[in-house]
Amino acid sequence: MEVDSNASLPFIGVELLNLAPTIKTKVYVKPTNTGLLFHCQSLVDNRYKRSLVTTMLDRAYCMSSSWSYFSQECDQLETAFLKLKYSRHLFNLAVKQFVDSKVADQQHIPSTETTNPPSELSYH
């Protein structure tokens, strides 16, 4: 069982941050993570490589309770994909398309709040 330290608790790929009176979330990567993903020069179809980038962005979006945390994870993903020889242009284009689609989705939903990734958890 994991024990919280510094008001945070890693839990199945998500880090729970106790910022009373709310709990925020962001992506948690274990220190032992090797960053093993498809190399850009691997012999898989390009659609799988593009889908990998989109999947990792979606994971970051779903696990981040704020745009700030999402942005931090995008920076980490950019570093990881550049190490795997993906072009900066491909990655930045994927991020732009992903963010544009999420903003467009949120504009179709009536809301009193600004556009944020998934909600914050409150506890009492």
What pLDDT, in 10s, does the model give residues 55-79? 999 999 999 999 999 999 999 999 9
Select from 32, 25, 33, 42 the least CA-distant residue to 122: 25
Domain range enclosing 100: 37-122
In a domain, 30, yes or no: no
In a 13 Å sphere around the CA of 7, the CA atoms on its Cβ side amount to: 9
Number of domains in the chain: 1
Cα distance between residue 82 and residue 27, in whole Å = 19
Percent of the chain with pLDDT over 70: 83
What does the DSSP 8-state code read for residue 5?
A: B
Q: Chain-wide mean pLDDT for the chain? A: 86
In a domain, 16, yes or no: no
In a domain, 24, yes or no: no
Select from 78, 98, 75, 74 the least CA-distant residue to 88: 78
pLDDT classification of 116: cutoffs 50, 70, 90 = low
53 and 85 Cβ atoms separated by less than 8 Å: no
Q: Is the pLDDT confidence value at 15 over 80?
A: yes
pLDDT computed for residue 107 by the predictor? 81
pLDDT computed for residue 124 by the predictor? 43
52 and 37 Cβ atoms separated by less than 8 Å: yes
pTM of the model: 0.80
